[in-house]
Chains A and B, each alone.
Chain A
Amino acid sequence: MRKLHLILLVLLAVSCRKDVELFKTGETVVDKPADDGFSGFYLLNEGSMGSNKSTLDYYDFSRGVYQRNIYGMVNPAVPKELGDAGNDLAIYGGRLYAVINVSNKVEVMEARTARRIGQIEIPNCRYIKFDKGFAYVTSYAGPVEVNPDYTQKGYVAKIDTATLKVVDQCVVGYQPDCLEIVDGKIYVVNSGGYMGGGSTNKYERTVSVIDLATFREEKKIDVAYNLHHIRADKRGGLWVTSRGDYKASPSRLYFIDKTLQKVTDTLPVAVSNYYLDDDLLYLYSTEWSYVTYSNVITYGIVDTKTHQVISRVLITDGTDKQIEIPYGIMVHPVTKDIYITEAGNYVSPGLLYCFNKEGKKKWVVRTGDVPGHFALLPK
């Protein structure tokens, strides 16, 4: 019996375990301090679905310091931190907005501190844009129709940024992704991404045009299967990317003339993601090859004035051969440094690379899981 008592005692003794701590923000000095018109930038890590590991990193130009995972320590009282599957990040009116897809919310924070102000509840939210005090957020979770198959259109939510309340909704196509606002119109790309897996013709191939004044869909512009990004250049011309059907129709870059409201140019380059800076569109593409059974990654620069692909290179020092999955891209408007994130295998930490305008690596730092979305913080 004494032995048993002893065993029980030992077991009870080991039964006190430590409290679980919030993640400490990690700080890494990666570069010399710089003063080039911006305070820093935020980087949103998506985290793999279900992991609740969407995190926010911040790079401080004035100190050359990279801070990893800042949200928890700035907002310790928020249960389960930032959330699951971050999808977009933007700064507007002194506030930082993070669209967190699986958490069904847009997190609203102070842009300087990342301190939480509140949240906007939007189920299955995707991307965000702003205009005159309103935020516009795309969502996959629009009205359901069963006829006889279950289908569900997406919508654009209109949010008053003063009250953080949804004030109106406009139904668009299936699974709308990015949106852009030019001359009183919202352009929303429809992907049909949930529908086309089995057969290509079920993908969407349109851009919805919403009139800002009435907030109703005016028309749909036919572009290509499975659209993803849309962004306007300095002249208001719209650059749209398609993912393609991953089979016969490849990913492409399209140009929509805002006056004609139709596609007037198709560039023969595949684009997974891009960044528009001044007149240049910096792009990369990841495409699966059934020949080599590996991803083929390409980079390039398009001149938005001439519509010409002026370069097929962004990285010149060989680092590109190491990058498994480029995922986020940004170009510093002043220094023209190129930032590219590496998402790796989507389930473990990624990397952020900084290249100078000649494409030589300046530094690299570990990020959270699936680093993907940048927001530059002006001074």
Chain B
Amino acid sequence: MHISGALKTLSTTFLVLTGHYLYGQQPGHDTLRLDSARVRTLQNVTISAPEYKEVIPSQKLSGDQLKNLNSFSVADAIRYFAGVQVKDYGGIGGLKTVDMRSMGTNHMGVFYDGIQLGNAQNGQIDLGKFSMDNMESISLYNGQKSDIFQPAKDYGSSGTIYLRSRKPVFDSQKTTNFKGVLKTGSFDLIDPSVLIEHRLSKSLSYSFSSEYIYASGRYPFRYRRVLPGTKTVAYDTTAIRENGDIHALRLESGVYGNIRHGFWQAKAYFYDSEKGIPGAVVNNVWRNPQRQWDRNFFLQGSFQKNSVNGHGVQVNAKYASDEMRYLSPGPDELHIDNSFHQQEWYTSVANKYSLSRAIDVDLSTDLQYNSLASNLEGFIYPRRLTALIALAGAAQLGKFKMQASLLGTFVNEGVKRGLTATGEAAVAAPAKHEFTPAIFLSYRPFEQNDFSLRAFYKDIFRMPTFNDLYYTDVGNIRLEPEYTRQYNLGFTYRKNRKGAVLSEWQLQTDAYYNQVTNKIVAVPRGSGMYRWMMMNLGYAEIRGIDAVSDFAFSLPGNLQLNVRASYTYQKAQDFSRRQNPLLEGLSYGGQIPHIPWHSGSLISGIRYRSWQLNYSYIYIGQRYDNSANIAENYQQPWYTHDLSASKAIRLKGYRVKISGEVNNLMNQDYEVVLNYPMPKRNYKLILSVEL
């Protein structure tokens, strides 16, 4: 692979910066005082530090609120955020992807314990794979995270989700934590998990967690249609969803260390699954035979030394290996047996300098190498080297806070001939470099009121995926990146009312305008059905409002009630030009597929001593499965009510919790994705024991 001069410079910068850290650090002095600060840092290292108030619209679910949600996977929990649409193919093993503010799944960055989860092959992160079992918090940022002390990659998406797994925290004298959970219920679910945390020394702890999931994935679904006008039943069919089974094993282990003024951690993650792909339910086909195997492994480490003498450094590194096998067994449909193996090497150094008490700057440099191999016929083995360099600044000037960043991205690609026939060209996409800015402002006009205004502008892009560029017969190496431009204006208001029934409430609302240009779309190519070429032809504009409000009620009789409500309005329009003016007339300005104009959610929990009762609700309004917003493409609104109750018991030093859940209480038949029916009413029973 040819590495351009710019890249060489960058790698040199990278090495210099790393070296600077390795040899340039001076031991600190004030041990005791900083020690306590360090412990606090460790506990709060999740998401942004509390003292620096967010300048960027964000939403977070954590602690009890997250635990009490009737969510099986991370994707289930993300549905409660405003401005987010989850594409859910149904069932425990079904693919679940997230789209933020209608810019497309590929514009979303997902970070697991601080480092991004990659998928250079198709850009999609299946959030259905990430269990809630071990999750401590889920945060969502529009634009990017407020904290500038972060890797360059954290600046590189239109929106980001940060998943934070549980970290060891020990009560006073304890050195070991144990937790065992067993979940069972509908879909023949059996889901045992264990967590062990051990304190090795004052500054070193260790954790291990494992989970096994089996579900048959069988559930009844129903299609019922009535005749227009008379409303008499046309057909009413109930069937069982088949081939939705999943067997999955997750092993996760981490080492967490504290050092003077900082911390480090290392983590290994392994996920192995086999599942059925239930497929679309179409006329005369009630069962599909396709299977998928996934084996994901990653090893990652972080090191952070906080600001001493105005300089802090953060180092991150990761290796990831993702294997996937897809089997369409035949004989009734096309036989496919393809395996893919992706590998990623990643390393990052971030340096933060405090120029004054009010101004911080950050320089981050990342290097990443991706490769993809496959047994697919005609496959070209692509490799990509990405260098990212981010320069960011944060300032607090009286009532103003601001953050600005500039990200430089340098991409070089190479290909190796795989199973292509001789004589065919295997050519890599040309090198690319992009510079993208972002600016965030926050203004708090009143001293006595917790009210602030905020605004941001961000330019960013997503690279075409390996599939977009190189997939046999479909890929197009001429593809340019797909750009997004975001404008956001919003406010937050928080009110504390000690002693009142409504003891605390807050509201945050943002209005936004996004443009997606150079959108990568599949264009029919030549004669014959299902032959495509990826092209930069689409253009979309999204206008929307996100609103989230939290209420805390202190009711008489020791009752504590918490309510969170969210609402999203999106006018997400497809303004792609078409060659045929009549066809353009059908889709131009139409709402983007699967994006509802109105959606919302509600979470509420009421606690009485050791009892907890939760109710949650999701509403997805009408939408279309195609930009041609005609009756044939109309999709009904759907909404689900979920209930759960739990009781905590102390038993000889064990903390036992028993919960029961009912999901889709009203037994609604609905689809998120056309022809992928979702489960009707279903149940879960959870027993957890902690020591």
Binding site for B on A (CB under 8 A): 1, 4, 7-8, 11, 14-15, 17-24, 46, 49-53, 55, 69, 72-73, 76-84, 100, 102-105, 119, 121, 123-124, 140-141, 144, 150, 152, 193-194, 197-200, 228, 243, 246-247, 251, 270, 272-273, 285-288, 293, 295, 322-325, 342-351, 364, 366, 368-370
Which residues of chain A are within 8 angstroms of B581 by Cβ–Cβ distance?
322
Known: A79-B223, A144-B330. A103 touches B285 (CB 8 A): yes
Known: A144-B330, A194-B334. A285 touches B527 (CB 8 A): yes
- In angstroms, Cα B284 to Cα A78, docked, is 10
Which residues of chain A are within 8 angstroms of B578 by Cβ–Cβ distance?
324, 344-345
- Decide: A348 and B335 in contact? CB cutoff 8 A: no
- In angstroms, Cα B674 to Cα A102, docked, is 16
- Decide: B583 and A342 in contact? CB cutoff 8 A: yes
Q: Interface stretch among B127-135, B259-267, B528-536?
A: B528-536
Contact of A82 among B283, B285, B630, B638 (CB under 8 A): B283
- Decide: B527 and A198 in contact? CB cutoff 8 A: no
Which residues of chain B are within 8 angstroms of A79 by Cβ–Cβ distance?
223, 235, 237, 283
- In angstroms, Cα B280 to Cα A343, docked, is 22
Indicate if B609 sits at the interface (CB-CB under 8 A). no
Name which of A4, A77, A105, A193 has the most chain B CB atoms within 10 A of its CB: A4
Indicate if B632 sits at the interface (CB-CB under 8 A). yes
Which residues of chain B are within 8 angstroms of A81 by Cβ–Cβ distance?
283
Q: Which of B601-648 contact A (CB under 8 A)?
A: 602, 604, 615, 617, 619, 625-628, 630-633, 636-639, 641
Which residues of chain A are within 8 angstroms of B284 by Cβ–Cβ distance?
80, 83, 100, 103-105, 119, 121
Report, nearest first, the 5 A-B pairs whose CB atoms are least far apart: A198-B377, A272-B527, A198-B378, A83-B283, A76-B234
- Minimal beta-carbon separation of A198 from chain B (angstroms): 3
Known: A19-B231, A76-B234, A346-B524. A102 touches B225 (CB 8 A): no
- Decide: B226 and A21 in contact? CB cutoff 8 A: yes
Binding site for A on B (CB under 8 A): 223-228, 231, 234-235, 237, 279-285, 330-335, 337, 376-379, 419-421, 424, 472-473, 476, 478, 521-531, 533, 535, 555, 561, 563, 578-583, 586-587, 602, 604, 615, 617, 619, 625-628, 630-633, 636-639, 641, 666, 668, 674-675
List 7 A–B pairs whose Cβ atoms lie within 8 Å, in order of A's numbering.
A7-B602, A79-B223, A80-B284, A198-B472, A286-B526, A347-B626, A348-B626
- In angstroms, Cα B582 to Cα A323, docked, is 10
Known: A76-B234, A197-B377, A288-B533. A14 touches B524 (CB 8 A): no
Known: A21-B226, A346-B529. A197 touches B472 (CB 8 A): yes
- Decide: A123 and B332 in contact? CB cutoff 8 A: yes
- Minimal beta-carbon separation of A196 from chain B (angstroms): 9
- In angstroms, Cα B585 to Cα A351, docked, is 12
- Decide: B524 and A198 in contact? CB cutoff 8 A: no
- In angstroms, Cα B472 to Cα A194, docked, is 13
Which residue on chain A has the smallest CB distance to residue B617?
Answer: A11
Contact of A243 among B420, B522, B527, B579 (CB under 8 A): B527
Which residues of chain A are within 8 angstroms of B579 by Cβ–Cβ distance?
322-324
Known: A1-B555, A4-B604, A52-B675. A348 touches B237 (CB 8 A): no
Contact of A83 among B282, B472, B602 (CB under 8 A): B282
Contact of B580 among A15, A17, A288, A351 (CB under 8 A): A351
Which residues of chain B are within 8 angstroms of A78 by Cβ–Cβ distance?
235, 283
- Decide: B526 and A141 in contact? CB cutoff 8 A: no
Contact of B225 among A20, A55, A194 (CB under 8 A): A20
Contact of B587 among A123, A342, A348, A364 (CB under 8 A): A348
Known contacts A7-B563, A20-B636, A344-B583; 7 additional CB pairs below 8 A are A78-B283, A79-B223, A84-B285, A121-B284, A141-B331, A322-B580, A348-B626
Known: A11-B641, A246-B473, A368-B632. A21 touches B228 (CB 8 A): yes
- Minimal beta-carbon separation of A81 from chain B (angstroms): 6
Name which of B602, B632, B666 has the most chain A CB atoms within 10 A of its CB: B632
Which residue on chain A has the smallest CB distance to residue B476?
Answer: A293
Known: A22-B228, A52-B675. A246 touches B531 (CB 8 A): yes
- Minimal beta-carbon separation of A267 from chain B (angstroms): 16
- In angstroms, Cα B586 to Cα A324, docked, is 14
- In angstroms, Cα B627 to Cα A189, docked, is 37
Which residues of chain A are within 8 angstroms of B224 by Cβ–Cβ distance?
19-20
- Minimal beta-carbon separation of B589 from chain A (angstroms): 14
- Decide: B335 and A19 in contact? CB cutoff 8 A: no
- Minimal beta-carbon separation of A347 from chain B (angstroms): 7
Known: A104-B285, A152-B331, A198-B420. A51 touches B226 (CB 8 A): no
Known: A84-B283, A119-B284. A19 touches B330 (CB 8 A): no
- Minimal beta-carbon separation of A313 from chain B (angstroms): 19
Which residues of chain B are within 8 angstroms of A199 by Cβ–Cβ distance?
377-378, 420-421
Which residues of chain A are within 8 angstroms of B283 by Cβ–Cβ distance?
52, 78-84, 100, 103, 105
- Decide: A348 and B331 in contact? CB cutoff 8 A: no
- In angstroms, Cα B332 to Cα A267, docked, is 36
Known: A124-B332, A243-B528, A348-B628. A24 touches B637 (CB 8 A): no
Which residues of chain A are within 8 angstroms of B285 by Cβ–Cβ distance?
84, 102-104
- Minimal beta-carbon separation of B402 from chain A (angstroms): 38
- Decide: A50 and B528 in contact? CB cutoff 8 A: no
Which residues of chain A are within 8 angstroms of B633 by Cβ–Cβ distance?
348
- Decide: A52 and B282 in contact? CB cutoff 8 A: yes
- In angstroms, Cα B235 to Cα A84, docked, is 18
Known: A15-B639, A79-B223, A103-B283. A4 touches B563 (CB 8 A): yes
Which residue on chain A has the smallest CB distance to residue B533?
Answer: A288
- Minimal beta-carbon separation of A73 from chain B (angstroms): 8
- In angstroms, Cα B225 to Cα A73, docked, is 11
Which residues of chain B are within 8 angstroms of A344 by Cβ–Cβ distance?
524, 578, 580, 583
Contact of A80 among B282, B378, B636 (CB under 8 A): B282
Which residues of chain B are within 8 angstroms of A84 by Cβ–Cβ distance?
280, 282-283, 285
Known: A4-B604, A15-B639, A144-B330. A102 touches B527 (CB 8 A): no
- Decide: B526 and A288 in contact? CB cutoff 8 A: yes
Which residues of chain B are within 8 angstroms of A286 by Cβ–Cβ distance?
526-527
- In angstroms, Cα B333 to Cα A312, docked, is 38
- In angstroms, Cα B528 to Cα A287, docked, is 10
Which residues of chain B are within 8 angstroms of A324 by Cβ–Cβ distance?
524, 578-580, 583
- In angstroms, Cα B563 to Cα A366, docked, is 48
- Minimal beta-carbon separation of B227 from chain A (angstroms): 6
Known: A288-B525, A323-B580, A324-B583. A22 touches B378 (CB 8 A): no
Which residue on chain B has the smallest CB distance to residue A77?
Answer: B235
